[in-house]
A = this chain, B = another copy of it.
Amino acid sequence: MPLITDTAHAFLPYPDVPVLHAGTGPLAGLCFGVKDLFDVAGYPTGGGQPLVLAMSGIKTKTAPAVQQLLDAGAKFVGKTVTDELAFSMNGNNAHFGAPINGAAPERISGGSSSGSASAVSNNLCDFALGSDTGGSVRAPANHCGLYGIRPTHGRISLAGVLDLAPSLDTCGYFARDVDTFARVSSVLLGEDPVAMPTNIRLLKPLDIWSMLSEDVAVAQAKPLARTEAALGKAVEMRVILDNPDSLYWHFRHIQGHEAWTVHGPWIERFCPPLGPGIAERFAWSKTVTDEQFAEASVYRKRFKKHLADVLGADGVLVMPTAADIAPLKSDGGEALESYRNRSIQMLCLAGLSGFAQISLPLGQRLGAPLGLSLLGPAGSDMRLVRLAQQIANTA
């Protein structure tokens, strides 16, 4: 059993099967956890769903993203708990438990990459792989005080990884400090295909910022100031196409339609008992029509072009990662659902466009971490990482 001292419930108690890694390399000396959506040879892949775990068997191949890390000298220390089928942001799996938020133990860790964020925030490993479809890396990064990335769609391989909504799914990761984050990024991202210009334009989308409550806006003032100190004064602008509801619903229609396409057949075949929220979300996903999906796909194209035009080659949005700090564990399902929906309105910019976004743990409110995000054009991932370093190095 890996990491027997894990009292954070971040790791799954799979029997400890050794996984080879290179003796030297850019990540030598670092250890990492892997969300239980990624195949690792010698382990099952459970996806946070007991029947999926039962069906999995022991995998014989390791997902390329994991293999890249091993080849770079990082040590695999275990598979981390994921929200059920990665279709939640609450970090509370009805079957496998609720990994503890190392930065705010009374608050949820967020999901669906809950165990990975928990493991890193509890110092159980140096970094961890997650996946981000609608915010599953960025939200837990916000909640647990971590650096977390949703890369440009397609930038990091998702071969050997369970799908949720393939046109939205991405492979992301977490680290506590920006230098570890940058080391891992170099390995998984390599250099950007087209380097951004030396001078970037920092953009502040007022229509996103105006979604914040006053308390949260106040808490985001310092992180924003620090970012501007490092990257220059942000230009105020607007980014939403049509209205926030369009963004939100088109995103959800794409996610729901694809999630049902991926999981519907076996869910109908096996009738697995799905946890609270997950069952309802799949039931809703089933109702998304082909027409809604087609309409959403048209909107997505428009939005992607719109955001590409807005950003150009040198634009970087600076924006809140989520609606607020992590909800309390004691919050009811309705409060969590409301938090999720408000956050998706921010998180879906990167989701719909497929562009890269990094959450930086720059803020605090009520003693809990609060993330600020940089969102850049397609392929700007590594540059965003370097901007994050620049900000971190600005006192």
Contacts and interface: CB of A to CB of B under 8 A. Distances in A.
Interface of A: 1, 9, 12-15, 44, 46, 50-51, 53-58, 93-98, 270-273
Contacts of A273: 93-98
A12 B270 CA distance: 10
5 tightest A-B CB contacts, nearest first:
A15-B57, A50-B95, A50-B50, A13-B55, A95-B95
Given A50-B96, A95-B95, A270 B13 contact: yes
Contact of A270 (B9, B56, B95, B270): B9
Nearest to A79: B54
A98 B57 CA distance: 22
Contacts of A44: 54
A272 B97 contact: yes
A112 to B, nearest CB: 16
A56 B94 CA distance: 19
A283 B233 CA distance: 57
A12 B273 CA distance: 13
Contacts of A55: 1, 13-15
Given A58-B58, A94-B94, A95-B95, A9 B271 contact: yes
A94 B93 CA distance: 12
B51 A53 contact: no
Nearest to A92: B273
A14 B58 contact: no
A13 B273 CA distance: 14
A94 B54 CA distance: 15
30 contacts: A9-B270, A12-B54, A13-B51, A13-B54, A13-B55, A14-B54, A14-B57, A15-B55, A15-B56, A15-B57, A46-B50, A46-B54, A50-B50, A50-B53, A50-B95, A50-B96, A51-B97, A53-B53, A58-B58, A93-B273, A94-B94, A94-B95, A95-B273, A96-B272, A96-B273, A97-B270, A97-B271, A97-B272, A97-B273, A98-B273
A51 B96 contact: yes
A46 B51 CA distance: 11
A9 B50 CA distance: 14
Nearest to A266: B13
A191 to B, nearest CB: 39
